[in-house]
Amino acid sequence: MQDSYSGAHAWREDSVYEGDPTAPVLSLHVFTPAHVLGIDDGRNTHWDEFDRPPVESGTTRAAVEATYRMLKAHETRFGQDPEQAGRTLRAALEPMLRATAAGVTVHVTPSREWAAERDRRLTLERAAAPAGRDAGVRGKSAGQSHNRD
């Protein structure tokens, strides 16, 4: 659940940058094994910088709220019969797992359009950081390696 709020794994509608845990899922990204080794195989659309968002960012707030709702639903279901427990979990989780009206795209390769959208979203993430603070997202140009720290 939490990874779906990281732009490295998925993009949601822009309301996620305002802290909306119910922002619909727009696209998913591919993490290739070569990426772990620092090899650019041309197929990785997982961009690591999104995994370090500013603490104050909307995506961080959305992930925290989604995690709280998920844990609360799990706690609430204890003592319920299995059918009711299932309904409790679905009611809590479904609003946070919705796709956009157009569905969900899977970005398999990093196209120019994908790179432009990635850069736009990195700008939205950085905008949440107070001035003078290195609060998480650190940019790299499209040509630089994006290995894990």
Q: Report domain extents, the chain.
A: 2-126
Separation between Cα atoms, residue 110 and residue 106, nearest integer Å: 11
With beta carbons less than 8 A apart as the criterion, state whether 46 and 30 touch: yes
39 against 123, higher pLDDT:
123
pTM above 0.95, yes or no: no
Q: What is the pLDDT of residue 103?
A: 95
pLDDT above 90 (res 44):
no
Going by C-alpha positions, the residue among 62, 118, 71, 123 that lies closest to residue 92 is 71
132 against 131, higher pLDDT:
131
pLDDT in tens, 60-75: 899 899 999 999 998 8
Q: What is the pLDDT of residue 10?
A: 86
Going by C-alpha positions, the residue among 66, 75, 88 that lies closest to residue 5 is 66
Mean pLDDT value of segment 15-36:
86
- Average pLDDT of the residues of the chain: 80
Q: What is the pLDDT of residue 135?
A: 44
Query: 3-class DSSP state for residue 10?
Result: strand
For the ranges 16-20, 46-50, 125-129, 137-141, the maximum mean pLDDT occurs at: 16-20
Angle in degrees, CA 58, 48, 147, rounded to 5: 160
pLDDT above 90 (res 138):
no
With beta carbons less than 8 A apart as the criterion, state whether 133 and 53 touch: no
Q: What is the pLDDT of residue 131?
A: 57
pLDDT above 70 (res 132):
no
Q: CB 73: neighbour CB atoms within 10 A?
A: 16
Provide the pLDDT confidence category of residue 136 given band limits of 50, 70 and 90: very low
Going by C-alpha positions, the residue among 135, 138, 131, 133 that lies closest to residue 47 is 138
The two structure tokens encoding residue 125: 């993430």
Mean pLDDT value of segment 6-16:
85
